[in-house]
Amino acid sequence: MTTKGTPNPNINDISSKSRENESSSSSSSTTRSILWRLFRLTVVSLVLEVAVALKKYVNHGSFTPWTCSVFGYQCSRLYDVPFNGYVHKDYITAQEVFKQNFYSGEEVGAATAAYVDGELVLDIQGGWQDPDKNIPYTDKTLQMVFSSTKALTSIVVAQFVEKGVLSYDEKISTYWPEFSQGNKENVTLGDLMQHAAGVGYLENGITTAELEDPERRSHILAEQPHNFGGRVAGRTVNDVAADLNEKYGIEWYLRPYQEEYDYRISSFYTAPTIIRIYSTIKELGGIGNFFKAILNPDENVMKSVASLPDGVATSAFPSLRLRRVESPSYSGHTNARSIAKLAAMMANKGKAIVDGEPDLLSTETYNLVTEPVPLDFDVFFKRHINCVKGGWGNHEDFSVEGVQFIGWPGFGGSTFFWNHELKIGFGYHMNGIASGTIQSPDNRSMSILGAIVKEALKKKNNTSR
C-alpha cells in the first residue's frame, strides 16, 4: 500500500510504455507511408518507362529488333543486309530508297524493278528469303503477290477480248450458263473484271480439295448469290501465263507445286502482334475505330477472309497444299522484273519493248481496256474505286508526284503499276507483312516509285527544252 502523495511506479511505467508504443506506432506508420510512396513512385516510374519503351518500339520499323528500338543495342543488324541486282546510274536514288527501307526496319526480304521508256533501269533485291537460315533474297526468289495477280489475269482476259472470244459487255452466263443462279443473270464480264460482279465472298467457304476440282469449284462459284471459275475459253490463266513466260522470258506461276520451286518460293513474315495492332489503329483512324471494327466487324470483310481455302490465315501461304490451287485473283508467284516487264509493255500501249518479241496487245485493244468506267462505291473497301474497263485500278492511291498510275496492288504491299505518259512499268514485292489491314500499296513501294518518277520527269523536262 502506498502512502498519500507518493507516486505510483506502476502508473509511471504504464505511461512510459504508452508513450513508447505511440512513438513506435507513429514511427511505423511513417515508415509505411514512406514505403507506400516509394512503391507508388516506383510503379509510376515503371509504367512511364514501359510506355516510353513501347512508344520507341512501335515507332521504329516493323521488323526492327526490339533490342535496337528500345535500348539502341544490336542496331548494326539492320545494316547487315545483302543486296543484289542492277541499277542504271541515273536511278541510284531509287536504289537508295529501297535500301533505306531495310535500314529503317521496314523489310525482311524484297525486290523491285522498273522499266522507263522500254529500258530496264532498276532490278534489285535485298534482305532475306529465309532469315532463320540466312538464305538471301535474290533474282531467283519467287514471291506470292496475292491480288497483284489480278493485273496479270486482266491482261489474259484482254487478249481473249482482242481475239473475239470474249466481250466485256457480254453476260457471263453466255459463256457459263450455270453462273446465272442467285440473281447473277445480268452480271457482265466487265462487271466481273471491274470488281462489281456482286460475289465478293463464298457463303460457306471452300476447301483446297474443292478448288483443285474444276467442276466442283465452278459449281460452288456459280451457285453463290449475287468469279469466273478461272477458266477462259477452256484454258486456265496458268496455261496462258506459261505462254507469256516463254514469249517474254518472264516468270509467272499460279500453281507452282512442283519440287523445283520448293527452294525458290519465299514464305511470309508478319510483324510482332503489338506492332500490327498499332499499325491497324493508325490506318483505321484511331483507337475508337479500332474497337468499333473489333466489336462490330464488317460482314463483307469477314466473309471475304473466311473464303480463303480451308479458312486458313494468310501466314499459311505459300504452303505446298495451297500452291496446288490455282486462283486467278491471288495465287500468282513471280518476281519484280517479270511484273515490271509486263507493266512496261502496258505502258507502251501493249507494244513489245524488245525487238523480236510479239506485242502483248494491239493499240486498239489497249485503248479499249484503259477506258475509264463510271465511279462506283466498293462495299469491301468502303470507298469509291476508280477503274478502267479492263479491270485495273487508277484511283488516287496510285498517284505519285502528280503522276497517275494504272494497275493493281496485292495484300501486304506488292504492286503492278504502269504509266503511259512517262512509259514507266513498275513492280515490287516483299515477304514482310507489317500491317494487320488490307492497306496496299504502302510507303515502301511508293517511295521507290516516287524516286523513279522524279528522275523520269526531270529527263522529260530536259528533253522538251
* pLDDT, one tens digit for every residue, the chain (465 residues): 445 555 555 555 555 555 555 566 666 777 777 778 777 777 777 766 666 555 655 566 678 776 777 666 668 777 889 999 999 999 999 999 999 999 989 999 999 999 999 999 999 999 999 999 999 999 999 999 999 999 999 999 999 999 999 999 998 888 888 877 777 788 888 888 887 766 655 556 666 666 666 677 666 666 655 433 344 444 678 888 999 999 999 999 999 999 999 999 999 998 877 777 777 777 767 777 767 766 776 655 555 655 566 555 555 667 777 888 888 888 899 999 999 999 999 999 999 999 999 999 999 999 999 999 877 666 666 667 788 999 999 988 899 999 999 999 998 899 999 999 999 999 999 999 876 556 678 899 999 999 999 999 998 888 776
Per-residue burial over 434-451, b if 16 or more Cβ lie within 10 Å, else e, is bbbebbbbbebbbbbbbb
Domains of the chain by start residue, with CATH: 83-464 (3.40.710.10)
Which pLDDT value is given to residue 381? 64
Tally the residues of the chain.
Answer: 465
Which pLDDT value is given to residue 313? 58
At 166, the amino acid letter reads: L
Which pLDDT value is given to residue 384? 73
Which pLDDT value is given to residue 230? 43
Which pLDDT value is given to residue 49? 60
Please tell me the distance from the alpha carbon of residue 43 to that of residue 52, in angstroms, as a whole number.
Answer: 14
Question: Using H for helix, E for strand and C for coil, what is the string for the chain?
Answer: CCCCCCCCHHHHHHHHHHHHHHHHHHHHHHHHHHHHHHHHHHHHHHHHHHHHHHHHHHHCCCCCCHHHHHHCCCHHHHHCCCEEEEECHHHHHHHHHHHHHHHCCCCCEEEEEEEECCEEEEEEEEEEEECCCCEECCCCCEEECHHHHHHHHHHHHHHHHHCCCCCCCCEHHHHCHHHHCCCCCCCEHHHHHCCCCCCCCCCCCCCHHHHHCHHHHHHHHHCCCCCCCCEECCEEHHHHHHHHHHHHCCCEECCCCCHHHCCCECCCEECCHHHHHHHHHHHHCCHHHHHHHHHCCCHHHHHHHHCCHHHCCHHHCCCHHHHCCCCCCCCCEECHHHHHHHHHHHHCCCCCCCCCCCCCCCHHHHHHHCCECCCEEECCCCEEECEECCCCECCHHHEECCEECEEEECCCCCEEEEECCCCEEEEEEECEECCCCCCCCCHHHHHHHHHHHHHHHHHHHHHHC
Which pLDDT value is given to residue 431? 94
CB-based burial label for 101 (10 Å; 0-12, 13-18, 19+): buried
Q: Which three cell numbers stand for residue 58?
A: 512501335
The CA distances from residue 162 to 165, 221, 262, 344, in Å, are 8, 26, 36, 19
